[in-house]
Amino acid sequence: MPKKIVITKLGGPEVLQYVKYELPNIIADDEVRIKQTSIGLNYIDTYHRSGIYPLPKELPLCPGLEGSGEIIGKGKNVNEFSIGDRVCYASIPIGAYCEIRDFPSSGLIKIPDNISNDVAASILLKGMTVEYLFERLYKVKKNEYILFHAAAGGVGLIACQWAKSIGCKMIGTVSSDEKAELAKINGCMYTINYKNENVVEKIKEITNGKGVPVVYDGVGLNTFHISLECLSLRGLMVSFGQSSGMVPKVDLHKTFNPKSLYYTRPTLMHYNSNSEELTNSSNALFKKMNNGDVKENISNIFDLKDASLAHAKLQSRSTTGSIIFKI
């Protein structure tokens, strides 16, 4: 019997259980059956596990939103994919932490020949996140200053590379000199070590007191007010994650009125809400990879049975790049 990770109660990494399970006898008409080889670990998985984000269905459930593998079966209405195709996904329905799963064909992407399953599972969700952040939510321009928190993380390192390909002046926050060096190697023009530097003062110094037109903040609680202080007049605060905790409640008038600031709390699922958007986003990512503008940064590989260890390592905020599970 195949095995998977399940959550029977909300909590810390210790609630992740490795169990056997049975597959459905029949594959749904619009779905395919995937024998998975690689699974992406993303910070949103920890939100689902802990209950910070509401779960799409009742417990127990299998977590995870990103994976890759080979199609071993398909429903009668699936015509765009064939048995043996290598595919990947980075969307609902939740349930990626398993060896074999059924998945809607509408959310699948064929893996290009020059990209491995491991790479696809490590970069798809994070890469498409950067694509919508930089290309659609706010169109980043050449020579423009932007601030990106956690620049040496999984999303951050892709953002560094993407920013370099655009020609913008990315400023990235990091927690160590080693992470600063890694971010710079990947294309970040300026780094700020928030452990020993004042982020707001450094932003003013770099931008000659103007601030930045956009801040990409996936950290949340610890950086929220700092991000707002770094914005220029009519700047945009993009709060796309909360690795340090939920952002605080604020007085909208007192917080945003002094500089006529804009605020958005976007998610990838809303920017890839249909097959056309999903295809366009993944194609944009694959084009960047084919051009050599964006490369994977797989820093850690875990066995699926060690999911609790992987979650603990990710939440320690000591990691760089991407983490995947190998089947």
> Same domain for 252 and 157?
yes
Nearest CA to 49 among 14, 91, 93?
14
CATH of residue 211's domain is 3.40.50.720
* pLDDT tens string 290-304: 999 999 999 999 999
Other CB atoms within a 10 A radius of the CB of residue 320 amount to 22
What's the whole-number mean pLDDT along residues 29-42? 98
Q: Is the pLDDT of residue 203 over 90?
A: yes
Nearest-5° angle of CA 215, CA 94, CA 100? 130
Per-residue pLDDT, 255: 86
* pLDDT tens string 241-282: 887 677 878 888 888 889 999 999 999 999 999 999 999 999
> Same domain for 92 and 168?
no
Per-residue pLDDT, 173: 97
What's the whole-number mean pLDDT along residues 101-117? 97
> Same domain for 43 and 155?
no
> Same domain for 249 and 277?
no
The residues near 217 (Cβ < 8 Å, ≥ 6 apart) are 149, 223, 224, 227, 237, 238, 239, 240, 241
Q: How far apart are CA 306 and CA 164, in angstroms?
A: 35
Any alpha helices (H) in the chain, and if so which ranges? 43-50, 117-131, 154-166, 177-185, 199-206, 224-230, 252-256, 268-271, 275-290, 307-315
* pLDDT tens string 206-218: 999 999 999 999 9
> Same domain for 36 and 79?
yes
What's the whole-number mean pLDDT along residues 113-130? 97
Q: Is the pLDDT of residue 101 over 80?
A: yes
Number of compact structural domains in the chain: 2
Residue 222 Ramachandran class (φ > 0 left, ψ -120 to 50 alpha, else beta): alpha
Rg (CA), the chain: 20
* pLDDT tens string 170-185: 999 999 999 999 999 9
> Same domain for 232 and 148?
yes
Average pLDDT taken over every residue of the chain: 95
Nearest CA to 81 among 52, 99, 60, 102?
102
Q: How far apart are CA 284 and CA 248, in angstroms?
A: 34
> Same domain for 260 and 276?
no
Of 265, 286, 301, the residue at which a domain comes to its end is: 265
Is residue 132, in this structure, part of any structural domain at all? no
Quote the pTM value: 0.94
Q: Is the pLDDT of residue 321 over 90?
A: no
Per-residue pLDDT, 259: 95
Per-residue pLDDT, 12: 97
Question: At 22, phi and psi to the nearest 5?
Answer: -105, 140
Q: How far apart are CA 77 and CA 67, in angstroms?
A: 22
Per-residue pLDDT, 56: 78
Q: How far apart are CA 163 and CA 156, in angstroms?
A: 10
The three-state secondary structure class of 302 is strand
Q: How far apart are CA 82 and CA 74, in angstroms?
A: 8
Q: How far apart are CA 89 and CA 111, in angstroms?
A: 10
Q: Which domain range does residue 15 map to?
A: 3-123+272-326
CATH of residue 279's domain is 3.90.180.10
Q: pLDDT exceeding 70 applies to what percent of the chain?
A: 100
Per-residue pLDDT, 90: 97
What's the whole-number mean pLDDT along residues 41-47? 93
> Same domain for 116 and 31?
yes
Q: Hey, what are 138's tokens?
A: 């706010």
Per-residue pLDDT, 97: 98
pLDDT band of 187, cuts 50, 70, 90 = very high
The residues near 134 (Cβ < 8 Å, ≥ 6 apart) are 140, 159, 162, 163, 166
